[in-house]
Amino acid sequence: MVTIKDVAREAKVSVATVSRALNGSADVTPATRARIERAAARLRYVPMGAARSLVTRRTQAIGALLPDLFGEFFSELIRGIDLAARTHGLHLLVSSSHGDADEAAVALRAMQGRVDGVLIMSPHVDAAFLRKHLADSIPAVLLDSPPREPRRPHVNIDNQGGARAMTQYLLALGHRKIAFIEGPEGNRDARERRRGFEQTIAAHDGAGARYLKGDYSEESGYRAGRALLAGRKLPDAVFAANDMMAIGCLSALNEAGVQVPDQIALAGFDDIPIARYTHPPLTTVHVQIAQLGHAALERLVAQMQTLDTPEADVTTMPCEVVVRASCGSRSKTSGSGKAVQIRKLQ
Amino acid sequence: MVTIKDVAREAKVSVATVSRALNGSADVTPATRARIERAAARLRYVPMGAARSLVTRRTQAIGALLPDLFGEFFSELIRGIDLAARTHGLHLLVSSSHGDADEAAVALRAMQGRVDGVLIMSPHVDAAFLRKHLADSIPAVLLDSPPREPRRPHVNIDNQGGARAMTQYLLALGHRKIAFIEGPEGNRDARERRRGFEQTIAAHDGAGARYLKGDYSEESGYRAGRALLAGRKLPDAVFAANDMMAIGCLSALNEAGVQVPDQIALAGFDDIPIARYTHPPLTTVHVQIAQLGHAALERLVAQMQTLDTPEADVTTMPCEVVVRASCGSRSKTSGSGKAVQIRKLQ
DNA sequence: TTCAGGAATGAAAACGTTTACATTCCGTGC
DNA sequence: GCACGGAATGTAAACGTTTTCATTCCTGAA
């Protein structure tokens, strides 16, 4: 292994000068600097991070503790974090796919002493968990977590705002009786989405709501659709708490020969990749996941720089309504004319 | 910051004993060990990775250098790597989304001195690149890269074998005239897939092939479909080099009222998530991405343990044909009865 | 009682780097 | 010609941990 000493010998200077030349330019003659750089290149010298960290007390790395995430969401989140981290010269230590709190705890502990800060996203994490497994001295930002830990900054998705925006959009289209397919009971996102819908309906004269149980699965959306069809009168619109349920509901409606959006409008939440391929393409709420990661990292860096300020704030990332064809309306029905029929396999 | 010295003082022993007690159990009295553990817990001591690495000359971390990958593929790959890494007590340093060779070079250089080994997947990487930017001493495994660097182990996807298997499957169903929609010119995967198809057709009496240009985009698949429809006689089957093109082709066929699979069979490659939602669900070749990551990490660990053996081998991960409905046949048409029509938005 | 020998623990070196402080060197003003 | 000052470079301490070697302590055999 080639160390700074080897470079020093090769360039006939002291290690201190090598260090100065190779790091930020202190005062070192252009000639010596060039000589040192040549020597370093010739020897293929790469500084050992550990030694550097030991003395600078900085690892130049941040950790990301993530739960078991599905395709799109995970990739985009990491992309957002990674890109932002790179602009700060930070490395990214990833620990993902934690099924339960114990796994998360082990991972979180293992990270400490190797990173300058942590991004934590986990359903298992609460104030007690953090106090137990995370040193107070290490900066951390919580992603998409209930603001139950008042001493740490949070960056959350604005589920409620998104649901509000979508509901307003539906109302603006003239829909009055709207059915809402709920997400799973315990789920916080689901609860917030419902609340956004609820609020908006309550604030709007003449609007009526109906609630159907669901659990985020396509199956449950399908059942909700059947339940609606069984009623004597269809609502004007259906707003599902996520896209999968919207798709399930769409199946039920299609099966019954009910036209979307002509006879009933349909909206989802998440903007999963398939959403643009359904027929009609699904109007839904888009969450900018990469942005979420980006924002979280920036918040963490800010926290790392002002070590003294354990300011605990909550940033919420806005969601936007993506208008496609499933709610009818003035949508720019920009279809290419090509159609694919899709059927669910299982 | 609480160090090992603090723990030593607290437990009234020397730092050496603390180290011994906390690491693998050397010989230390149960009583002292307990005392030390209590002290460490009380003080919330976490060993500093850098200091440890400095003396052990191990970082207990591996790096993953990845290109700009899309949803599913990226998540699964990381999952596979991460899970395998965890079983070895290794941390995972991720650096992704590299657009060009220069970015990859910077990232690769930055990683060195912080990891014990690297997993590299990048279209920009070749032997010259590695020799220039990667120290010989650091173990590395190349993922899904052309085996152009003979001194490093590779773990690749068996594109050729997958294409072969699918072609055999189509032939077994009785299809004889098969059209192949090619991937982009320069693409290695695409070339291998074509080769697998070609070989199998050539080896089969009475089989005939026809080749259509494509570039992996849905659009190009649609064009290929139109081209087929323009001919005087449809082939028995179409095998697209990826799912997106298969879906594009399906659009064209649907539009023309051609029934899939009754009038023509259709197969894809990749098994992207949407593949199971098309109508009919798409028979395709599944790549076990998580397994790929897993295998690559295991190979890297092996390489790291036997430092002296720079054995350069190529592991290929098998692909498997996933039978759905788009090729007709004895497929277990296990549809749930629910159908979603899908249309492409843009 | 003495001493050998082994088990538990301590002292200190080493790891590669940064950086405060010391040293050298050179030019400039007197 | 000398002292002074500043720029360039060198010396050595420090970072927190592991580990080799030394030391202490205890047990049991002679």
Residue A128 is part of a domain; what is its CATH number? 3.40.50.2300
Rounded CA-CA distance B185/B191 in Å is 8
Same domain flag for B175 and B268: yes
Q: Nearest by CB to A75, which of B71, B254, B338?
A: B71
A95 φψ region: left (φ > 0), alpha (ψ -120 to 50), beta (else): beta
A278 within some domain? yes
Among all chains, which residue has been given the structure tokens 């290109």? B67
What is the predicted pLDDT for the residue at B194?
Answer: 97
In angstroms, the Cα distances linking A281 to A250, A294, A340, B212 are 11, 29, 11, 29
Question: A278-305, pLDDT tens digit by residue?
Answer: 778 899 999 988 999 999 999 999 999 8
Q: Would you call B322 an interface residue with chain A, using a CB distance cutoff of 8 Å? A: no
Positions of strand C less than 7 angstroms from a protein CB: 7-12, 14-20
CA of B28 to C1' of D25 (A): 14
What size, in residues, is chain B? 346
- Cα angle value A219/A221/A223 (rounded, 5°): 70
Q: Would you call B112 an interface residue with chain A, using a CB distance cutoff of 8 Å? A: yes
Same domain flag for A143 and A181: no
CA of B195 to C1' of D25 (A): 75
Longest dimension (CA), chain B: 91
Query: Torsions phi, psi of B48, nearest 5?
Result: -85, 115
Q: Nearest by CB to A339, which of B44, B59, B251?
A: B251
Query: Does residue A48 approach strand C to less than 7 Å at its CB?
Result: yes
The β-bridge relationship of strands B339-343 and A339-343 is antiparallel
Q: Nearest by CB to A342, which of B57, B96, B341?
A: B341
Nearest to A162 by CA among A221, A274, A241: A241
CA-atom Rg of chain B in angstroms? 26
Query: Does residue A101 approach strand C to less than 7 Å at its CB?
Result: no
A24 φψ region: left (φ > 0), alpha (ψ -120 to 50), beta (else): beta
Which residue in chain B has the smallest CA separation from A259?
A: B341
Indicate the burial class of A99 (C-beta count within 10 angstroms; 0-12, 13-18, 19 or more).
Answer: exposed
Which residue in chain A has the smallest CA separation from B131?
A: A44
Q: What 3-state class would DSSP assign to A126?
A: coil
Q: Are B170 and B179 in contact (CB under 8 A)?
A: no
Rounded CA-CA distance A195/A189 in Å is 10
Rounded CA-CA distance B269/B326 in Å is 13
Q: Are A245 and A220 in contact (CB under 8 A)?
A: yes
Tally the C-alpha atoms within 13 A of residue A172's C-alpha that lie toward its C-beta: 11
* Interface list for A 131-170 with B (CB within 8 A): 135, 137
Q: Are B119 and B297 in contact (CB under 8 A)?
A: yes
What is the predicted pLDDT for the residue at B80?
Answer: 94
Same domain flag for A107 and A256: no
CA of B24 to C1' of D25 (A): 24
In angstroms, the Cα distances linking B87 to B90, B252, B294, B329 are 8, 48, 11, 42
How many domains does one find in chain A?
Answer: 3
Burial A140-172 (b: 16+ CB within 10 A, else e): bbbbbbeeebeebbbbbbbbbbbbbbbbebbbe
What is the predicted pLDDT for the residue at B334?
Answer: 35
Are the Cβ atoms of A346 and B335 closer than 8 angstroms? yes
Longest dimension (CA), chain A: 91
What is the predicted pLDDT for the residue at A64?
Answer: 96
The β-bridge relationship of strands B117-120 and A284-287 is unpaired
Q: Which chain B residues contact residue A250 at CB under 8 A?
A: 340
B328 within some domain? no
Query: Does residue A52 approach strand C to less than 7 Å at its CB?
Result: yes
Same domain flag for B68 and B128: yes
Same domain flag for A219 and A237: yes
Nearest to B85 by CA among B65, B61, B107, B67: B61
CA of A55 to C1' of D15 (A): 4
Tell me the shortest Cα–Cα distance from B115 to chain A, in angstroms: 9
Tell me the shortest Cα–Cα distance from A274 to chain B, in angstroms: 6
Provide the 8-state DSSP code for A156: E
> How far is C-alpha A204 from the geometric centre of its chain's CA atoms?
31
Q: Which chain A residues contact residue B7 at CB under 8 A?
A: none
Rounded CA-CA distance A72/B70 in Å is 8
CA of A34 to C1' of C23 (A): 24
Structure tokens at A28: 């070192």
Same domain flag for B179 and B143: no
Are the Cβ atoms of B344 and A338 closer than 8 angstroms? yes
Rounded CA-CA distance B170/B238 in Å is 9
Tens of pLDDT along chain B (346 residues) come to: 899 999 999 999 999 999 999 987 767 888 889 999 999 999 989 999 999 999 999 999 999 999 887 777 888 899 999 999 999 999 999 998 788 888 899 899 889 889 999 999 988 888 888 888 888 888 999 998 887 777 889 999 999 999 999 999 999 999 999 999 999 998 889 999 999 999 999 999 999 999 999 998 888 999 999 999 999 999 999 999 999 899 889 989 988 999 989 999 999 999 987 788 777 889 999 998 899 999 999 999 999 988 666 667 889 999 999 999 999 765 433 333 333 444 332 2
Are the Cβ atoms of B59 and A44 closer than 8 angstroms? no
* Interface list for B 202-221 with A (CB within 8 A): none
Which residue in chain A has the smallest CA separation from B225?
A: A338
B129 within some domain? yes
Nearest to B127 by CA among B143, B110, B147, B107: B147
Q: Which chain A residues contact residue B283 at CB under 8 A?
A: none
Same domain flag for B74 and B140: yes
What is the predicted pLDDT for the residue at A307?
Answer: 64
Residue A31 is part of a domain; what is its CATH number? 1.10.260.40
Tell me the shortest Cα–Cα distance from B95 to chain A, in angstroms: 7
A323 within some domain? no
Same domain flag for A172 and A250: yes
Are the Cβ atoms of B277 and A339 closer than 8 angstroms? no
Rounded CA-CA distance A141/A154 in Å is 6
CA of A120 to C1' of C13 (A): 40
Query: Does residue B16 approach strand C to less than 7 Å at its CB?
Result: yes
Question: A2-42, pLDDT tens digit by residue?
Answer: 999 999 999 999 999 999 999 877 678 888 899 999 999 99
Query: Does residue A20 approach strand C to less than 7 Å at its CB?
Result: yes
CA distance between the termini of chain B: 56
Same domain flag for B148 and B294: yes
B274 within some domain? yes
B332 within some domain? no
What is the identity of the amino acid at B330? R
> How far is C-alpha B133 from the geometric centre of its chain's CA atoms?
23
Same domain flag for A108 and A175: no
CA of A204 to C1' of C8 (A): 78
3-state secondary structure B122-146: CCCCCHHHHHHHCCCCCCEEEECCC
What is the predicted pLDDT for the residue at A329?
Answer: 60
A254 within some domain? yes
Query: Torsions phi, psi of A185, nearest 5?
Result: -50, -60
Same domain flag for B85 and B39: no
Rounded CA-CA distance B101/A262 in Å is 51
Q: Are B241 and B181 in contact (CB under 8 A)?
A: yes
A98 φψ region: left (φ > 0), alpha (ψ -120 to 50), beta (else): beta
Q: Which chain A residues contact residue B78 at CB under 8 A?
A: 74, 78, 94, 96
Same domain flag for B184 and B268: yes
Q: Which residues of chain A have pLDDT under 50?
A: 331-346
| Domain enclosing residue B310, as ranges | 59-152+290-317
A344 φψ region: left (φ > 0), alpha (ψ -120 to 50), beta (else): beta
Q: B241: how many CB neighbours lie within 10 A of its CB?
A: 32
Rounded CA-CA distance B277/B284 in Å is 12
Are the Cβ atoms of B274 and A276 closer than 8 angstroms? no
Strands (E), A158-260: 177-181, 208-212, 237-240
Q: Nearest by CB to B339, which of A97, A112, A255?
A: A255
A29 within some domain? yes
CA of B75 to C1' of C18 (A): 39
Tell me the shortest Cα–Cα distance from B202 to chain A, in angstroms: 32
Q: What 3-state class would DSSP assign to B156?
A: strand
Rounded CA-CA distance B119/B106 in Å is 15
Q: Which nucleotide is nearest to A30 (CA to C1')?
A: D8
Tell me the shortest Cα–Cα distance from A343 to chain B, in angstroms: 4
